């Protein structure tokens, strides 16, 4: 036989073998379960901890590593009496085939997912662990989550970005990223209108200025984040449901460091909230909260747009820059709201929803549930930067009664940066519970009565992804669909000379005597 | 022996023999004199203000592999980074350099043979000598030479295909088809391969037009690859300019550009040699060849010696050796190295290491003024400390765990994961009772070829003892670690806090006093003297005594110093100082002549400016 023919046959065999391997992997046929296996009387230890969680029926496979001794493992995934499918592993890394996984979950909303782990030792005898159980929710989770990825940076930053992730799979794509050597900018808080990324805002700090990138209908425009004649740049923002107005906080703050305990901290010298009218590039004040002796931050709209929620605290000092005053530990924010009528652009009375004097803690990052019943907040010992405080925990505040209680899913480390899914049945938050250093995204189911299930970690294709990942996930936002604006459009706006400027109405925020920003450029909001 | 037999003998035995001897010589020289481990430990060492060592990391695993190979030249770069990790072991590093020299000799000889130039056996040594020169100068160019070696090897393989007239066309097509992947794998050295191949086509097949077409094609492929790489980085599309692109192309293609003069010289030499050989009778040719071999070997030996010892950069060697001793805690050796080969300039990183070595050998208070001093580089924190490895290590040694963490994270962000940073961060998080965070750094470090074993062992120990109570390093840092929470404002605040919290923290005490000495705060130095015993010092350090005498002279006070007395020798020196300053006030040369190594010359030249600067 000629060499050429032999080569062709060899190549064909190779392609067929690869195709067979691919199909076999996707089929979920990990081989038969062992007939006789000794029971261990306990569930297998796995990491990440996907046990007793409530999973969305449309979530990507929860790949994991079995932390048990064994020369071979078989894992059966099934619901009830269904046969399900099995996965085989020699090293304990369980990579679940997406096809059978989706089929199993889609067929069993409201059911219970059972994960049976079998391990074979060196002598060839099998052990059977008690099944790991997870419930499958009836309600789907939004298809996408977007977040920032960055190392636990302090001041210098080289690589960071805002990314979106398809929750039904593992595809992560950059919305806007900054890479060492090409660009060294800080890409931060991103905001959508009611989880719809067609209209969105992205903050930017770097050589191209401190700016806001407003994307609408596929077009992006750059707006100087520091309004005309003012010194404080815009930071946290929230879209009014009408998609025309943004509530923005204008902050002047500084990062500082502790000699002992948790190292990083942030001090807010001053902060005000104003309304940015995107069509007219105009910022107007919120008259009820224009008191210069108080600071307001973390604006958030109720889903119907009738209330603006925010955190507010008294200013216990006069300075707007310089050394951090000793009173930094006494700063505690109240949760407040003010009524607003978008049609007439009129404000109502100011209300204290929950005061820091009641909780003894600083109440931050309010996010109202889509049904308007609860405000999900982060409470921490002091200040306005919960991601740096180990004491940060998630709390529900019932709007109707003013009652508040901690979520049962809190950890000893920082739990913050939370957001609601569009159907109000899921929350996502950034937690440092695993290590105290690296923020990871957790998702938890919230039932109609406000009961919160054990959260699960954002699944990854590589079961060992989190073992070596040195980057923080934070500022997550759910999105019902992928951001349609290409990164290139954001970059075109960044490099465009056309930067629009916000103008102020009288008595607008930041109209306090202008002072140089307190090193605002060094803050990297983790 | 016939002429043909002599030539065969030459080809078969003499040339390989000489090449082998050369490689053995390179191995011995690099092993004994250059010492590649200095480079392995030398990441971040500043050799001149414009030149500092950037030692590439390497991690096992697909992620690192893909990150590397997705850019032109990435595959070779990946291989070079892998090989360079073994620079950690001097013998292995020397073996790598010697083996690469061997491949370069073989490849260059193959190029010479393919384009049929005279004296190719001599020219074959040029790239290897260049490699030796760069290694001797402590230039980290292994990736460039590896890419050149690969390019020459590919060229040799392609040139074989052109041997027969029938296979020539197919060989050209194979080259054309393989060009894009080859360009992606080799980067700029691909052009060298293409240039050599074009020369072969030109000279061997007598097809100048085909040769030019091939070369033009190669340039297009190279520029295309470069363009693709640039536009893949989102921001680059907005920075793309002809000048910028040309700069990038020049940077990428420099191995080829460096080879161009060599190839041109080879061709010119060949032209001269051909001209001479036409005039030379056959009988003389053999004699010439024998003489040529002897001359060639002599020239090679002479050039090798010249390159090896002539280019040996003693200053760089001293700085790298000092750094090596600092990184491996060989403090006495560090001081001996600096004393035996004092560098012409003291970079801040070296100042940190010298002071640390003085402290660790119990000489900081006695001998610190034998070396240049700068109060700015006694202790830095935060982003200022990032460029200096010694500073981060010192912070940890002092007990400033949070600031050490701060510095390490800043360095991680700007320098990327480096084995020593991952190790430091793991230790810091173990000390801070965050074993899970430490595990993340250790698992990442476990992918490092050299330090992976330490990381795996540490992970095993952590599994058994999450606090690592049995580890003396961890226990020591925990013992010194600051407990009281205050806001960090400056390095001086840190030192004060350390001493306030633990007066037995000798390192903090000595560095704080050194700070007072360097900022000429004599009163503060004198206040420190009664606390010497608490800090564990058993004698009054010379500089402290000198500061005390200066303080008494300047203020007329006789402070209570807890019973410590200055030695008669110190009083004698002080009298000399008074005499010199009386005769030639503020003449540093006069002071240095008589009182070199004491505090007096430093004080005389610095006390006004630094004392003013130290005032709040």
Choice between B286 and B576, residue whose per-residue pLDDT is larger: B576
Burial degree of A154 (CB within 10 A; 0-12, 13-18, 19+): buried
Closest residue to B406, CB basis, from A154, A260, A261: A154
Instruction: Report how far residue A367's alpha carbon sits from residue A300's, in angstroms, rounded to the nearest whole number.
Output: 6
What's the pLDDT tens digit per position in B241-251? 888 888 888 88
Q: Between chains, do B233 and A182 touch, taking CB under 8 Å as contact?
A: yes
Residue B338 contacts residue B355 (beta carbons within 8 Å) = no
Contacts of A11 (CB under 8 A, 6+ apart): none
Please tell me the predicted confidence (pLDDT) of residue A270: 93
User: Measuring CA to CA, how many Å separate B424 from each of A436, B377, B405, B420, B545?
Assistant: 17, 21, 8, 6, 37
For residue A492, the chain B residue with the least C-alpha distance is: B238
Q: Between chains, do B485 and A258 touch, taking CB under 8 Å as contact?
A: yes
Q: A267 is written with which tokens? A: 């001090």
Closest approach of B86 to chain A, Cα-based (Å): 23
Closest residue to A256, CB basis, from B441, B481, B487: B487
Residues in chain A closer than 8 A to B437 (CB atoms): 435-438
pLDDT of B567 higher than 80: yes
Closest approach of B235 to chain A, Cα-based (Å): 6
Q: What is the ipTM of this complex?
A: 0.90
Choice between A3 and A237, residue whose per-residue pLDDT is larger: A237
Q: Residue A308: beta bridge partners?
A: A301, A338
Average pLDDT over residues B64-82: 93
Q: Between chains, do B440 and A469 touch, taking CB under 8 Å as contact?
A: yes
Instruction: Report how far residue A382's alpha carbon sits from residue A394's, in angstroms, rounded to the nearest whole number.
Output: 14
End-to-end CA gap in chain A: 65
Residues in chain A closer than 8 A to B406 (CB atoms): 154, 257, 263-264
Q: Name the strand (E) or helix (H) holding A164.
A: strand A160-166
Residues in chain A closer than 8 A to B403 (CB atoms): 257, 259, 263
Instruction: Report how far residue A439's alpha carbon sits from residue A420's, in angstroms, rounded to the nearest whole number.
Output: 18
pLDDT of B581 higher than 90: no
> SS3 for B484?
coil
Q: Of A445-459, B547-561, B572-586, which range is least confident?
A: B572-586
B401-415 and B389-398 helices, crossing angle to 10°: 160
Choice between A311 and B309, residue whose per-residue pLDDT is larger: A311
Residues in chain B closer than 8 A to A151 (CB atoms): 409, 412-413
Confidence band of B158 (pLDDT split at 50, 70, 90) = confident
Residue B301 contacts residue B307 (beta carbons within 8 Å) = no
Q: What is the largest CA-CA distance in chain B?
A: 101
Closest residue to B436, CB basis, from A155, A324, A435: A435
A325 touches chain B (CB under 8 A): no
Please tell me the predicted confidence (pLDDT) of residue A20: 65
What count of other Cβ atoms lies within 10 Å of the Cβ of residue A43?
A: 16
Residue with tokens 């002549």: B593
Contacts of A456 (CB under 8 A, 6+ apart): A48, A50, A53, A54, A55, A62, A134, A442, A443, A444
Q: What is the pTM of this model?
A: 0.91
Q: Between chains, do B409 and A159 touch, taking CB under 8 Å as contact?
A: no
Residues in chain A closer than 8 A to B240 (CB atoms): none
Please tell me the predicted confidence (pLDDT) of residue A482: 95
For residue B62, the chain A residue with the least C-alpha distance is: A462
Per-chain mean pLDDT for chain B = 88
Please tell me the predicted confidence (pLDDT) of residue B515: 97
Closest residue to B488, CB basis, from A180, A183, A257: A257
Please state the φ and ψ torsions of residue A464, each to the nearest 5 degrees. Answer: -100, 15
Q: What one-character DSSP code corresponds to residue A95?
A: -
Closest residue to B383, CB basis, from A155, A159, A464: A155
Please tell me the predicted confidence (pLDDT) of residue B143: 93
Residues in chain B closer than 8 A to A436 (CB atoms): 434, 436-437
Residue B83 contacts residue B90 (beta carbons within 8 Å) = no
Residues in chain A closer than 8 A to B382 (CB atoms): 154-155, 257
DSSP for B233-279, please give it.
STTHHHH--HHHHHHHHHHHTHHHHHHHHHHHHHHHHHHHHHHHHHH
HSE at residue B601, side-chain half, CA atoms within 13 A, is: 18
Q: Name the strand (E) or helix (H) holding B79.
A: helix B74-85
Among candidates B213, B90, B73, which has minimal Cα distance to B141? B73
Q: Between chains, do B402 and A257 touch, taking CB under 8 Å as contact?
A: yes
pLDDT of A481 higher than 50: yes
A261 touches chain B (CB under 8 A): yes
Residues in chain B closer than 8 A to A159 (CB atoms): 413
Q: Which residues 422-461 of A have a C-beta within 8 angstroms of B?
A: 434-438
Instruction: Report how far residue B587's alpha carbon sits from residue B601's, in angstroms, rounded to the nearest whole number.
Output: 9
């Amino acid at each position: 036989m000629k060499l050429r023919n032999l080569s062709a046959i060899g190549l064909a065999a190779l392609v067929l073998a690869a195709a067979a391997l691919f199909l076999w992997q996707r089929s979920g046929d990990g081989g038969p379960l062992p007939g006789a296996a000794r029971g261990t009387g306990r569930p297998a230890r796995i990491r990440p901890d996907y046990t007793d969680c409530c999973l969305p029926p449309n979530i990507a496979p929860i790949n994991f590593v079995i932390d048990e001794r064994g020369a071979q493992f078989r894992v059966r995934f099934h619901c009830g009496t269904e046969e399900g499918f099995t996965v085989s592993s020699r090293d304990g890394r369980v990579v679940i085939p997406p096809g059978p996984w989706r089929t199993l979950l889609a067929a069993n909303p409201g059911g219970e997912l059972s994960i049976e782990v079998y391990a074979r030792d060196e002598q060839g005898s099998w052990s059977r662990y008690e099944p790991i159980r997870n419930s499958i929710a009836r309600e789907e989770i939004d298809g996408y989550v977007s977040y920032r990825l960055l190392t636990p940076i302090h001041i210098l930053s080289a690589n960071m970005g805002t990314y979106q992730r398809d929750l039904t799979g593992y595809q992560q794509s950059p919305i806007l990223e900054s890479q060492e050597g090409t660009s060294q900018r800080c890409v931060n808080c991103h905001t959508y209108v009611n989880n719809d990324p067609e209209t969105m805002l992205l903050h930017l700090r770097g050589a191209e200025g401190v700016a806001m990138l407003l994307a609408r209908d596929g077009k992006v425009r750059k707006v100087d984040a520091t309004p005309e004649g003012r010194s404080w740049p815009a930071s946290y923002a929230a879209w009014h449901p009408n998609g025309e107005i943004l509530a923005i906080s204008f902050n002047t703050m500084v990062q500082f460091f502790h000699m002992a305990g948790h190292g990083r901290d942030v001090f807010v010298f001053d902060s005000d909230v104003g309304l940015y009218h995107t069509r007219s590039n105009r910022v107007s004040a919120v008259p009820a909260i224009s008191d210069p002796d108080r600071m307001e931050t973390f604006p958030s709209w109720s889903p119907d747009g009738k209330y603006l929620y925010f955190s507010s605290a008294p200013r216990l000092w006069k300075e707007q820059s310089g050394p951090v005053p000793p009173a930094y530990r006494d700063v505690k924010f109240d949760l407040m709201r003010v009524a607003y009528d978008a049609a007439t652009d009129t404000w109502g009375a100011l209300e204290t929803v929950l005061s820091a004097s009641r909780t003894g803690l600083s109440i931050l990052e309010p996010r109202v549930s889509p049904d308007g019943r609860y405000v999900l907040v982060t409470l921490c010992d002091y200040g306005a930067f919960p991601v740096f405080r180990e004491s940060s925990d998630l709390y529900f505040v019932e709007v109707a009664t003013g009652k508040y209680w901690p979520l049962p899913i809190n950890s000893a480390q920082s739990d913050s940066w939370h957001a609601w899914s569009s159907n109000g049945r899921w929350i996502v938050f950034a937690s440092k519970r695993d290590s105290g250093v690296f923020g990871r995204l957790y998702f938890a189911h919230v039932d109609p009565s406000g009961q919160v299930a054990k959260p699960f970690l954002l699944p990854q294709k590589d079961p060992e992804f989190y073992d070596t990942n040195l980057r923080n996930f934070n500022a997550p936002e759910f999105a019902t669909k992928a951001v349609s604006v290409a990164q290139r459009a954001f970059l075109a706006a960044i490099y465009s000379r056309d930067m629009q400027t916000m103008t102020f109405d009288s008595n607008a925020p930041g109209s306090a005597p202008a002072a140089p920003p307190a090193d605002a450029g060094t803050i990297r909001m983790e | 022996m016939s002429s043909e037999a002599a030539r065969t003998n030459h080809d078969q035995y003499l040339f390989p023999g000489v090449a082998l001897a050369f490689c053995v010589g390179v191995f011995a020289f690099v092993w004994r004199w250059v010492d590649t481990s200095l480079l392995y430990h030398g990441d971040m060492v500043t050799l001149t203000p414009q030149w500092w060592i950037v030692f590439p990391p390497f991690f096992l695993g697909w992620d690192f592999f893909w990150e590397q190979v997705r850019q032109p030249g990435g595959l070779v770069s990946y291989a070079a980074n892998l090989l360079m990790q073994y620079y950690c072991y001097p013998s292995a590093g020397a073996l790598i350099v010697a083996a690469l020299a061997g491949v370069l000799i073989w490849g260059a000889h193959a190029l010479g043979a393919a384009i049929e130039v005279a004296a190719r056996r001599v020219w074959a040594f040029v790239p290897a000598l260049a490699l030796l020169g760069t290694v001797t100068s402590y230039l980290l160019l292994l990736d460039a030479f590896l890419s050149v070696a690969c390019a020459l090897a590919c060229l040799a393989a392609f040139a074989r295909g052109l041997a027969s007239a029938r296979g020539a066309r197919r060989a050209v097509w194979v080259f054309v088809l393989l060009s894009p992947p080859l360009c992606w794998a080799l980067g700029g050295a691909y052009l060298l391969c293409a240039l050599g191949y074009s020369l072969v086509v030109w000279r061997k097949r007598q097809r100048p037009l085909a040769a030019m077409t091939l070369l033009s094609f190669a340039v297009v492929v190279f520029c295309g690859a470069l363009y693709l790489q640039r536009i893949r980085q989102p921001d680059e599309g907005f920075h793309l300019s002809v000048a910028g692109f040309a700069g990038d192309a020049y940077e990428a293609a420099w191995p080829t550009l460096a080879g161009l003069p060599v190839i041109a010289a080879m061709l010119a030499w060949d032209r001269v040699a051909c001209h001479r050989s036409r005039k030379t009778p056959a009988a003389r040719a053999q004699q010439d060849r024998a003489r040529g071999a002897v001359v060639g070997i002599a020239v090679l030996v002479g050039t090798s010696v010249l390159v090896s010892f002539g280019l040996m950069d003693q200053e760089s060697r001293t700085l790298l050796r000092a750094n090596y001793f600092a990184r491996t805690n060989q403090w006495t050796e560090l001081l001996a190295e600096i004393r035996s080969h004092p560098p012409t300039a003291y970079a801040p990183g070296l100042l940190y290491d010298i002071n640390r070595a003085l402290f660790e050998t119990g000489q900081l208070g006695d001998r610190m003024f034998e070396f240049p001093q700068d109060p700015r580089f006694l202790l830095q924190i935060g982003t200022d400390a990032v460029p200096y490895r010694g500073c981060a290590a010192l912070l940890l040694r002092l007990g400033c765990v949070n600031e050490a963490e701060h510095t390490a994270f800043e360095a991680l962000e700007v320098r990327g994961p480096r084995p020593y940073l991952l190790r430091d961060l793991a230790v810091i998080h173990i000390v801070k009772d965050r074993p899970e965070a430490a595990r993340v750094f250790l698992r990442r470090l476990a992918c490092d070829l050299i330090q992976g074993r330490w990381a795996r062992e540490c992970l095993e120990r952590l599994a058994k003892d999450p606090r690592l109570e049995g580890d003396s390093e961890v226990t020591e840092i925990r013992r010194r670690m600051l407990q009281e929470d205050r806001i960090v404002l400056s390095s001086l605040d840190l030192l004060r806090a350390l001493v306030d919290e633990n007066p037995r923290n000798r390192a903090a005490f000595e560095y704080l006093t050194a700070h007072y000495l360097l900022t000429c705060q004599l009163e503060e130095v004198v206040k420190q003297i009664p606390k010497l015993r608490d800090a564990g010092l058993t004698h009054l350090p010379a500089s402290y005594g000198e500061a005390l005498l200066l303080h008494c002279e300047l203020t007329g006070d006789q402070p209570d110093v807890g019973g410590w007395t200055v030695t008669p020798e110190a009083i004698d020196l002080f009298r000399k100082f008074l005499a010199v300053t009386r005769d030639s006030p503020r003449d540093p040369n006069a002071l240095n002549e008589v009182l070199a190594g004491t505090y007096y010359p430093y004080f005389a030249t610095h006390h006004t400016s630094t004392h003013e600067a130290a005032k709040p």
